[in-house]
Amino acid sequence: MSVTLDTGLSWVVYVCLGYLLLVATLYAILVVFSALDNMLRVRQTRAEDFRTLARSRFTVPVSVIVAAYDEAALIRESVRSLLELDYPEHEVIVVNDGSTDETLELLRAEFDLVPQHIYVRRVLATEQVRQIYRSRLDPRLVVVDKDNGGKADALNCAINFARYPYVCGVDGDTLLFPDALLRAMRPVLRDPAAIIGVTSHLAISSAPEEIAAQRDVLGDYRPLLAFQQIDYLRAFMTNRLAWSRLNFMLCAVGAFQIWRRDVLEELGGFARHFTCEDIELTFRAHERYLREGREYKILSLPHTVGVTEGPNRMRSLIAQRERWQRVILETFWAYRGMLGRPRYRSVGLAGMPFYLLSEVVAPVFEVLSVLALVVAAATGSLDWTSCLLIGGIVAFGTGLLTAASVLISDLAERTLPKRRLASLVLLAPLELVLYRPALVWARLLGTVRFLRGDRKWHKFERNTRPRAVAPRSS
């Protein structure tokens, strides 16, 4: 091999190692901030009087909104979990976004829905509403059937119906624990003027309905699901908690996001022209508030508030993560103006650069690192021992980060059994070879599709389970 090629290769190895070191250092810093934030939340929670909050008429009421598109598999359980939330005052608004399956029929039968004429303010423009239903079993439940317009459109439609000052967006495949709203709203009740958004950790399962009842969070023990859980734990416990503490919480997740309704209305609701709505809205809120110099907070909490469905097939996982990568790139590109600008404070100076390094360019570096190491080893520029050592460092470094996430999560809520904790931390180093390659592939695909301008949703195929059947209505 020519000297020039070897030089080039060594450069690539050098840059990749430098990138790895930089990202690892950043994550280590974030872990410290996450641990501090977690400690604060745990202490605040321990000292909180939830009994008073749960029955007080002074607790701020919340509108829980659900955008449902082909959610027949879980919609009944999901809505039931929302109606059973232990909260003084809340309503549930489900928008059936032109589902092609039996989502609406299942809801009609399960909750005894009857058509109603409800006239609302059309604060946000949406697709045509076909019919509105109210439950005869529980008047807090309103179901809106509308033409398909995408998740953002459905959420906007729900906002038009929302009557309470805070809106909690929940996915149709997410089951919340009874105290979810109370725990998430606790910081809001302390400072409603400043807190405009809240999100919190969710557990993953291929069948949330099976584990939600026992509250065996992270109860899905299959490797693919366990790796996704590890991924979620890291994303929440070592990323979002620190972002939240440093005032650049960049993504309130769609599966559980609480927003002040006036903020949503002021921002014009969820954006329809992005592949996914949650990250974009978070960025937009930061952009608007910081540009106008207004004080605000968007928080991420360590509490596990519910269980959401995760794909149990590799193909579905890749489809989901491909979309996530595309959304990240779309959002980052749309708000690139904030990058490095002091006017956007920690979001522009820390959050955006971190996002650029850890999310936007990560797939390129991940692929480049693997290729460079393999080529360098194959051509003899680097011996195999070094390659294996580098691989080991990355594997156990990731394991270390995962163990930190698991520790933070366990300190926040002692809900997981010891065996489960042990399995999660022991599984972590294997992620590099058993799970990460699929993610790298998905992220590459997402990057390519973003560059091609693909904006399709590509919703992941639902996990196989016994077919949901709508009971015949009387």
Q: Please say which residue, 340 or 392, places its beta carbon nearer to another protein.
A: 392
Identify whether the C-beta of residue 299 lies closer than 8 Å to the C-beta of residue 184: no
Q: Please say which residue, 193 or 456, places its beta carbon nearer to another protein.
A: 193
**Amino acid of residue 352:** M
Give min distance, CB of 98 to another protein, in A: 19
Q: Please say which residue, 414 or 467, places its beta carbon nearer to another protein.
A: 414
Query: If DSSP codes are grouped into helix, strand and coil, which group holds residue 2?
Result: coil
Q: Which long-range contacts (CB under 8 A, 24 or more apart) does 341-344 make?
A: 343/290, 343/291, 344/286, 344/287, 344/290, 344/291
Give the binding site for another protein (CB under 8 A). Answer: 1, 3, 6-7, 10-11, 13-14, 40, 43-44, 46-50, 52-53, 55-60, 114-119, 121, 131, 134, 136, 163, 189-193, 379-383, 385-386, 389-390, 392-393, 395-397, 399-400, 403-404, 406-407, 410, 414, 416, 418, 421-422, 425-426, 428-429
Give min distance, CB of 1 to another protein, in A: 7
Task: Phi first, then psi: give them for residue 67, nearest 5 degrees.
Answer: -100, 120
Give min distance, CB of 312 to another protein, in A: 26
For helices 384-412 and 3-47, angle between their N-to-C axes, nearest 10 degrees: 10
Give min distance, CB of 379 to another protein, in A: 8
Q: Please say which residue, 14 or 333, places its beta carbon nearer to another protein.
A: 14
Residue with structure tokens 């799970």? 435
In eight-state DSSP terms, residue 11 is H
Q: Please say which residue, 337 or 392, places its beta carbon nearer to another protein.
A: 392
Q: Please say which residue, 140 or 465, places its beta carbon nearer to another protein.
A: 140
- What burial letters (b/e) apply to 316-350, b meaning 16+ CB within 10 Å? bbbbbbbbbbbbbbbbbebbeebbeeeebbebbbb
Identify whether the C-beta of residue 199 lies closer than 8 Å to the C-beta of residue 256: yes
Q: Which long-range contacts (CB under 8 A, 24 or more apart) does 114-122 make?
A: 118/142, 118/161, 120/160, 120/161, 121/160, 122/160
Give min distance, CB of 422 to another protein, in A: 5
Q: Please say which residue, 346 or 381, places its beta carbon nearer to another protein.
A: 381
Measured distance CA(246)–CA(375) in Å, rounded: 40
Give min distance, CB of 292 to another protein, in A: 23
Is the C-alpha dihedral spanning 206, 417, 232, 401 positive or negative? negative
Give min distance, CB of 357 to another protein, in A: 20
